Amino acid sequence: MSERIVVKIGSSSLTSEEGGLNRESIAFFASELASRHRQGDAVMLVTSGAVAAGFRQIGYASRPKLVHEKQAAAAVGQALLMQAYQEALSRYGIVAAQILLTRADFSNRRRIQNAGMTIEELLKQRIIPIINENDTVATDELVLKFGDNDNLSALVAAMTKAAKLVIITDMDGLYTEDPRKNPQATKIERVEQISEDILRIAGGAGSSVGTGGMRSKIEAARVAMRGGVSAFIGKVQTEGDLTSAVEGTGRGTYFDTKLHSLPMKKQWLGFHSMPQGRITVDDGAVTALLIGGKSLLPAGVTASEGDFHTGDVVEVVNRQNEVLGRGVVNYDSWQLQAAAGLGSEEVARRIDVTRIEVIHRDEWITLK
C-alpha cells in the first residue's frame, strides 16, 4: 500500500568528516528513495548538508563557527547539494524540486499554507520535494542550531499529514545508554510515549559535521507523534533498508502514535507559532485545561510575562514552570495583569474585553 513518507538525512550521512559531498552516499540514498517512489509512495526528503558541502569549496579549513561564514558556506553548498541530488535521482527518471524554509515561514500561517500547497502540487506530479532550511537568511536558526533539520522534518511530516517520518542516523536506534561506552546497553525497540526519562537517555552530542544529536531526533519524534505521524529513528545503510524502515522491520527504534492528524490550525498553534508571552496558572486551571477540556478563565491566572495583545499566541505554564500548552489570548498583557485571579463577573465590571475567557478551548492546544 502506498504511503506518504518524509525521510530526513543529516550532514554526517552525506559528507565526510573533512567536509565536501560524498557522491556514493548520495547515489545510495537516491536509490533507496527511488525504490519507495516506484512502490507508489509520495516521498519527501528533508536534507541537511549545505554548510558541510560548501565550506571546503569556499576555502575554509574546517566547518565555520561564525554565522556569516556559515551562511556563505551554505550559499555555495546548497547549489552543490541540489545538483548532486538532481543528477542521482534523474537516473531513475525522477525530478527533484528544491524548497527552502525558515522558522519564520512556519510562524506565518499564510506562508506555511503556501509552502504546503506547493508541496501538494509537487507530490501530485510525482516529483520529490527536497526540503532544507534556508541557512543564508535564517540567522536565528543557525545560532540556535535547530537539530540539524530534525525538527524541520517533524514539522514537514505533520504539515503534510505524512504516515511516517524516517530519521536516518548512524545509530541503529535508541539505547538505554550509549552502546559505544557501555556494551551492556539495551536497545529500545518501540516507544509509545516520550517521557522525561526517554529524553534523558537520548543525551546530546552530534557529529563534527552536523549539529543534531539523538536528543534532537527524539524531540522531533515527539512533535511528529503529536501531529499524528509515526516515526522511525535508525540506520539506512544497505540496499532495502529504507523499505524495511517504512514497513516496520528496520534497524532502529519505532515511535508509535495513536493520535490522529491535527487540523492545520492546531498544528500551527502548537508547533509553528511564536509565543509572545507566558501565563502562569494555578492547579485548578491545570486540571481544567488538561483534563476537563475547559477554557482558561481569569480566576485561574496567577501571573503573566511579556508584552502581548489580543490575538497573540502565548504559552501557559504551571507553578513549576512546566509548559502545558499554547493558546490565542483574548486580553492585552496589561488587561490580564489587572484581571488575574478575579472572578468572571468582577472582570466584566472592571475591564472592557470582547471575551471573558483568557484562552478559549477552541483556541488552545495541549503540549504536555
Pairing of strands 164-168, 42-47: unpaired
DSSP category for residue 157: H
3-state secondary structure of 190: strand
Is 48 labelled a binding residue?
yes
C-alpha cell at 292: 476537563
CA atoms within 13 A on the CB side of 318: 14
54 touches 75 (CB < 8 A): yes
Is 362 labelled a binding residue?
no
Query: What is the residue-averaged pLDDT of the chain?
Result: 90
3-state secondary structure of 37: helix
Pairing of strands 164-168, 364-366: unpaired
CA distance 97 to 120: 12
**Helix 67-90 vs helix 50-58: angle between axes, to the nearest 10 degrees?**
110
Mean pLDDT of 112-132: 96
CA distance 124 to 127: 8
Is 135 labelled a binding residue?
yes
3-state secondary structure of 65: coil
Is 8 labelled a binding residue?
yes
Is 295 labelled a binding residue?
no
Helices (H) and strands (E) counted in the chain, each on its own, are 15, 15
139 burial level (CB within 10 Å; 0-12, 13-18, 19+): middle
CA geometry: angle 97, 101, 105, nearest 5 deg: 135
Is 344 labelled a binding residue?
no
What confidence tier does 180 reach under pLDDT thresholds 50, 70, 90?
Answer: confident
Mean pLDDT of 246-250: 96
Delineate the domains of the chain, giving CATH numbers in brackets.
Answer: 4-265 (3.40.1160.10), 275-366 (2.30.130.10)
Is 214 labelled a binding residue?
yes
Is 307 labelled a binding residue?
no
* 282 contact partners, CB below 8 Å, separation of at least 6: 300, 301, 302, 319
pLDDT of residue 148: 67
DSSP category for residue 149: G
pTM, two decimal places: 0.83
* 61 contact partners, CB below 8 Å, separation of at least 6: none
Does the pLDDT at position 142 exceed 50?
no
**Distances, alpha carbon 130 to alpha carbons 44, 84, 85, 153, 264, in Å:** 6, 12, 9, 11, 22
CA distance 277 to 314: 5
Which residue from 2, 4, 1 is spatially nearest to 230, judged by alpha carbons?
Answer: 4
CA distance 324 to 185: 33
pLDDT of residue 206: 44
**Distances, alpha carbon 333 to alpha carbons 217, 316, 343, in Å:** 35, 14, 18
Helix, strand, coil % over all residues of the chain, rounded to 5:
45, 20, 40
What confidence tier does 69 reach under pLDDT thresholds 50, 70, 90?
Answer: very high
* 45 contact partners, CB below 8 Å, separation of at least 6: 6, 7, 8, 9, 33, 85, 96, 128, 129, 130, 131
C-alpha R_g of the chain? 22
**In one letter, which amino acid is 332?**
D
Is 207 labelled a binding residue?
no
Mean pLDDT of 115-121: 96
What confidence tier does 263 reach under pLDDT thresholds 50, 70, 90?
Answer: confident
pLDDT of residue 340: 97
Mean pLDDT of 91-108: 91
C-alpha cell at 221: 519524534
Among 126-135, 147-156, 305-314, name the one with the lowest average pLDDT.
147-156
What confidence tier does 270 reach under pLDDT thresholds 50, 70, 90?
Answer: confident
Which residue from 207, 80, 66, 82 is spatially nearest to 139, judged by alpha carbons?
Answer: 66
pLDDT digit string, tens, across residues 213-225: 788 899 999 889 9
